Structure 1
């Protein structure tokens, strides 16, 4: 059966192991048992979901498992992941659960679990839950008056709206016209309201979820698509969220994509100038562009580099009291306001800087020089350690020798899919393309599905 938890919760194809209703019910029971034993919170769990059709099935099964163990369940319906993290804290829960596969296609689903402080679980707690789920041990339910109840919380969205607006002190953003792509996902209703209430003129796109169209050629992983809309509507910028709205990517008025690295750069420089960048440090991952690191060094800002995954970024931020961190993919974490990536909050902070400075996002993003970089992926049949693959090992050594200090290559397996991710960065696109082709060919030969 193997390991359940990946880099961001449990994820897979809906109605295939482990994302089945039977497993979801056992997950609910295991979560209740572990948190009940730890005696954390008030014996209640909040559950949110994105807009996937399979969310109904998993929500019901998880709820049944939790209630059978005496947990009360607060159901908040379609809700951004950061909203569930927020509600986990504010509702004095034992834990929060988000049913989502983030940026993955509609046929996938999964669960992310938050502790009662709004942060993702520690490895130790994840391991406890996983061990119990995978064991043959019977998880004994409660009976009689000791079972829990389920409640539908209708005002949860309003609580989140007010919180994120408060992150920019309800700043007046009147005069900004934005195209907002909600990926037919969890933020399809709330994020347009947030921007509109703060004064933006909002052109909404992909806000009609049908359970099957989440992330379908839209959202943060298709930010290039925004370019046409930004130009068509003569907008100041485009904003793309992903399926569970914990990522944000921008497009400038010329249709150029402004990714997570550039958003971090913009915010880091502004926070340093304002004196709010504690210790003059930011947390980023190994996938961040070398141009970001170079810019930070030039401005006296230290980059703490972590493994890929926003949970690793957040762990580094908590350890060193860092107030800003994130990933190139668009997870942006503002330590004073959120405990996980928040696409809507990240969008507001950039719009706030545009309004305050009077500069376009293109002008703000121009502070950072991008090193040519390409990310490619190969579907694999298994995930053997890379150092056991002689062809890829030799190719990595050859690439590193040629690039030296002028570039790099990073190969790693996805934590959520059967995929090898390949990143090459160099001083020219020609060199990048050459090595990407070599790595793709070799990976297909050795481990391709």
Structure 2
């Protein structure tokens, strides 16, 4: 089971059971000051069982539950602003046998101070039983106000991946004026896995041959991957395009995770904007956004563009509409070409968790000799030159160390990753 600020996740029936759901939701109740909580789920087979158990736990502790049914994560986040708290039953991009919960307080995901209160047992003072009410959402209408109406009627292919974006992404795109073809509407017979960032998206690539663009979503609709001109783009490109649109709207103050492409930062600065870097993780990006009143930003590794005025979460559905609104001009290809000129590789190597800190400390000393600038905000990031960097981070949930790198030279990027993984493994052998 994984217990992080991104939520609780596990294989349902093995390391995540209904007893766990009851316990974590009981604990979550203590954080809900409004005594109201919005709840929604994605399309996983175990979703209804988990949602019903979560609802029962919340109601037992006097929380009124407002049920959205099967909806994307961004919809729950949006509605949680109105009710004070929210709960998403989802394991995001994990395989179908997984499930989990994302906890929302005041429209944002929980932070590192709040996580212990959810995973450690809380004794709740008994109160009256809460009630459950089914509600609808104004999400589509709210998103349309930000995007506006399109005049050029772009042709778009949408790959739902059998997820919760089914009744939202195609509708939003049609409402703003797009000609939409939908594939992989349902989990049954879906041609790909739940994570579009790791799948090759072959059916979407074929479908977009005669389209202007293709969009692929994960199961809960917060991740978005772009397919353009027969090519699957990196998640950083999704973020970069969202950033480009927000610059067009006049926003200047951005937060990016430390592992986001340097191309996005360069693009922002060339347009007169400012950038601050946060630790990796959606919640960490949002915490820094709130702290500094940032207007937009996100996390490149997950294709996660975030627009705080609309939602404190990765916004795959809104972003698809924002990107569609950029398709009628030459600027779109200019932006895409600029961001495509950078190459990112994200890899990992197996290292026992008990040695993570020692290995990273050992590598840090090597980085200090090899690179002119070392950043220790989250793991160790070595700045190689203005177009190249490498980052190593320990996993909080697995016996691995993650290695990320970028360069405007593809072969150089491969060599950076290869040499860094070798350095990590040698350090491991040395200290064990």
TM-score range, shorter chain: 0.7 to 0.9
Match of residue 257, structure 1, among 210, 221, 232: 232
Task: Give the secondary structure class of the aligned counterpart of 2:100.
Answer: strand
The answer to whether residue 210 in structure 2 is matched with residue 238 in structure 1 is: no
Question: Could you list the runs of 5+ residues in structure 2 that have no partner in the other structure?
Answer: 373-381
Measure, in 2, the Cα distance between the counterparts of 1:150 and 1:217.
30
Maintained 8 Å contact 2:254/2:297: yes
Maintained 8 Å contact 1:51/1:214: no
Alignment of 1:365-444 (within 5 A): 365-368=336-339, 370-378=341-349, 381-382=352-353, 384-388=355-359, 396=367, 400=371, 404-405=384-385, 407-415=388-396, 418-440=399-421
Task: Give the secondary structure class of the aligned counterpart of 1:409.
Answer: strand
The answer to whether residue 290 in structure 2 is matched with residue 318 in structure 1 is: yes
The answer to whether residue 118 in structure 2 is matched with residue 129 in structure 1 is: yes
Match of residue 28, structure 1, among 25, 28, 34: 25
1:98 alignment counterpart: 88
Alignment of 1:45-60 (within 5 A): 45-60=37-52
How big is the shift at 1:121? 2.4
Measure, in 2, the Cα distance between the counterparts of 1:341 and 1:410.
22
* Residues 96 and 199 of structure 1, relative CA distance in 2, 3 Å threshold: same
2:306 alignment counterpart: 333
Alignment of 1:40-439 (within 5 A): 40-41=33-34, 43-90=35-82, 92=83, 94-115=84-105, 117-132=106-121, 138-139=123-124, 141-142=126-127, 146-153=128-135, 155-156=136-137, 159-169=138-148, 171-172=149-150, 175-210=153-188, 216=193, 219-222=196-199, 225=202, 228-232=205-209, 234-252=210-228, 254-274=229-249, 276-277=250-251, 280-328=252-300, 329-355=302-328, 358-359=329-330, 361-368=332-339, 370-378=341-349, 381-382=352-353, 384-388=355-359, 396=367, 400=371, 404-405=384-385, 407-415=388-396, 418-439=399-420
How big is the shift at 1:175? 2.2
TM-score, normalised on structure 2?
A: 0.85
Comparing 47-56 and 369-378, the one that deviates more: 369-378
How big is the shift at 1:178? 0.7
* Aligned length, in residue pairs: 417
Measure, in 1, the Cα distance between the counterparts of 2:72 and 2:405.
32
* Residues 416 and 82 of structure 1, relative CA distance in 2, 3 Å threshold: farther
2:12 alignment counterpart: 14
Comparing 76-85 and 376-385, the one that deviates more: 376-385
Maintained 8 Å contact 1:46/1:73: yes
Measure, in 1, the Cα distance between the counterparts of 2:130 and 2:206.
48
Question: Could you list the runs of 5+ residues in structure 1 that have no partner in the other structure?
Answer: none
Maintained 8 Å contact 2:6/2:283: yes
Measure, in 1, the Cα distance between the counterparts of 2:20 and 2:203.
38
Q: C-alpha root-mean-square deviation of aligned residues, in Å?
A: 3.1
TM-score, normalised on structure 1?
A: 0.82
Measure, in 1, the Cα distance between the counterparts of 2:79 and 2:14.
30
Measure, in 2, the Cα distance between the counterparts of 1:263 and 1:60.
34
How big is the shift at 1:342? 1.0
